[in-house]
Structure 1
Amino acid sequence: MLPINLLVELGLVSLILMVTRFAALGRKLAVTTLILLALAAFSPLGNLLLYPLESRFPQWDPSRGAPDGIIVLGGSVDTDLSAAHHSPVVPHAADRLFALAELARRYPNARIVFTGGNANLVSTDARESDYSAPILENLGVPKERLVLERNSRNTYENAIFTKQLVAPKPGERWLLVTSAFHMPRSMGIFRKAGFDVEAYPVDWRMGGRDELFAFTNIGADGLGRTDVAMREWIGLVAYRLMGRTGELLPGPARD
């Protein structure tokens, strides 16, 4: 459960308690909820949770030479809004698409894969890959170079289905493009699936270590960072417990 959802629910519970014989408890819960909301919105909490995730993998070093393939994870396109408006809608993480287009231009012989289906609990015919493909084509990626994986609903299926689709050969070098905060979990999942990839983080949500203890006066920003970080930490714990990653916080491979 994400912080904002939990805090809203606690606030509603406190209001209900205030009209019962547990009014005193309701008032205490309301004060506690307000304090937690303020911490999540204005304190450095979100930064402190995000930094260990975003700094886990360094920027990719191109000096090792051209990769054989490039994979970008879905998560940028809203499939429901795109289907409703018959046009791609990109509400967040657009850097993933921009990075893939740039890498495709830089490495014209690399195979290009976009992996993303529909993450909704109630699945529809809308697939993120289908709406991302025209964006990438408009950014200069030739249609014939694009390999689309349309069936995955989460990062675990991204890894499993993409490996089945491209059948990487021993010794090939593949880049994995996703948001910096999502990279530790993604790398852990791909490694567990037996697909050796190199991290290409993008879409950072904070500038670096200097912002670790920075407060913000824009509550929505703080809440957004806290929510993103909490969701990722919960995902890391859950995937480790399910055996989908080999360690709690995957990091760079040791040479």
Structure 2
Amino acid sequence: MFFYVSKVFWLVVAPSTLLTVLAVAGLALSLRWHQLGMTLATIGAVGLLLIGLGPFGRMLLVPLEGRFPPYVESGRQVDGIIVLGGSELPGISAARGQPSFQESAERILAMGELARLYPNARIVVAGGSGRLSDSPMQEADVVRMALPQIGLAEERVMFESASRNTAENARLAMALVKPAPGENWLLVTSAYHMPRAVGCFRAVGFPVTAYPVDFRTTGVPGYFRLFSSVAEGLSFFELALREWVGLAVYYFTGRIDSPLPGPEAR
């Protein structure tokens, strides 16, 4: 139930959708209630412009991406590598017969690099489908198609293809690999998503070492730097807002133990 509610909720409250509907509804209402309609239309249009061109998306993303620093080799043995799904495009991959990925394909590139650096480490790809409707293939299946392109043998990789969200990624990966106490597992996902991902793994008793990739900002908000298009700014803003909302919901529903998980003190 949680999965379906979360998907429907975001379909309704996504700012680009909400503000566009508000603007269009305002214009329609203005035909009968001019002042009310034009007020709503103005709020919708101005909201789209402010969010789309202003720095708000970067402002929300920077603290998420800065929560876990880039991975630095410490000399500690790496026993395993977990790569979270989410970068794949299953529909296009199935239709075109070749693996297709979104911006966060750095996750897959990092998997290939880490596999070469740590030839004895176990590798897990965790990801089923986050779609409400049936998917033509699972996220893990797209990664399987891409393995020859990154020079990684399929028998080297374990696939967890039943999870639909980050909490399920953690729980099902834990059940699949059954990590021994003291093992060092690297967790590969987008930097902005790392706090929630690490929190989910900690909550199921699976300590991991963060390996953030797919950075979207330089680390500074750029308060006076506008986005080049409304579409670009809206994309940044919705990506960040969705992650912050996800953190809040996961915390209040007990799926993570901290509102903003960070590195543990050593």
**TM-score, normalised on structure 2?**
0.91
Contact 1:3 1:230 in 2 (8 A): no
In structure 1, give the amino acid aligned to 2:69. Answer: P
Higher deviation after alignment, 245-254 or 6-15? 6-15
Aligned mate of 1:50, from 58, 61, 65: 61
Counterpart-to-counterpart distance in 1, 2:24 and 2:78: 52
**Alpha-carbon deviations, 1:130-165, whole Å to 9, x = none?**
111121232011111110111111111100110000
Q: Residues of 2 paired with 1:213 and 1:191: CA distance?
A: 38
Moved over 4 A (4+): none
One-letter code aligned to 2:84? L
Structure 1 position 81 matched with structure 2 position 82? no
User: Which of residues 228, 233, 236 in structure 2 aligns to 1:222?
Assistant: 233
Please tell me whether the aligned partners of residues 104 and 112 of structure 1 are also in contact (alpha carbons under 8 angstroms): yes
- Which residue of the partner structure matches residue 187 of structure 1? 198
Query: Which of 136, 148, 169 is residue 180 of structure 2 equivalent to?
Result: 169
| Structure 2: stretches of 5+ with no match in the other structure | 1-12
Tell me how far apart the structure 2 counterparts of residues 233 and 189 of structure 1 sit (CA, whole Å).
Answer: 15
Distance in structure 2 (CA, Å) of the matches to 1:247 and 1:213:
32
Does structure 1 conserve the Cα–Cα contact (< 8 Å) formed by 2:68 and 2:210?
yes
- Supply the AA of the counterpart residue of 2:131: N
Residue aligning to 1:4: 16
Tell me the residue number matched to 2:30.
Answer: 18
Deviation larger for 234-243 or 5-14: 5-14
For residue 137 of structure 2, what is the aligned residue in structure 1? Answer: 126
Which of the residues 85, 98, 105 maps onto 1:94?
105
SS in 1 for 2:211: strand
- Counterpart Cα distance in 2 of 1:205 and 1:213: 17
Q: Within the alignment, does 1:139 sit opposite 2:136 as a pair?
A: no
CA deviation after TM superposition for structure 1 residue 124, in Å? 3.5
Q: Tell me the alpha carbon deviations over residues 207-237 of structure 1, each in whole angstroms, 9 at most, x when there is no partner.
A: 1126355322332221111010011011111
Q: Give the aligned residue type for 1:200.
A: Y
Residues 5 and 95 of structure 1, relative CA distance in 2, 3 Å threshold: same
Q: What amino acid maps onto 1:5 in structure 2?
A: T
> Residue 70 of structure 1 contacts residue 111 of structure 1 at CA under 8 Å; is this kept in 2?
yes
User: What's the TM-score once normalised by structure 1's chain length?
Assistant: 0.95
Which residue pairs with 2:76 in the alignment?
Answer: 65
Q: Residues of 2 paired with 1:219 and 1:12: CA distance?
A: 17
Taking a change above 3 Å as real, the CA distance of residues 73 and 213 of structure 1, as seen in their structure-2 partners, is farther
Unaligned runs of 5+ in 1: none
* Pairwise CA distance, 1:189: 0.8
Q: In structure 2, give the amino acid aligned to 1:50.
A: L
Going from structure 1 to structure 2, the CA distance change for 1:210 and 1:34 (only over 3 Å counts) comes to closer
- Quick check: 1:37 aligned with 2:48? yes
Any idea what the Cα deviations from partners look like across 1:104-134, whole Å, max 9, x if unmatched?
0111011011011111112345111111112
* 1:28 alignment partner, one of 17, 30, 39: 39
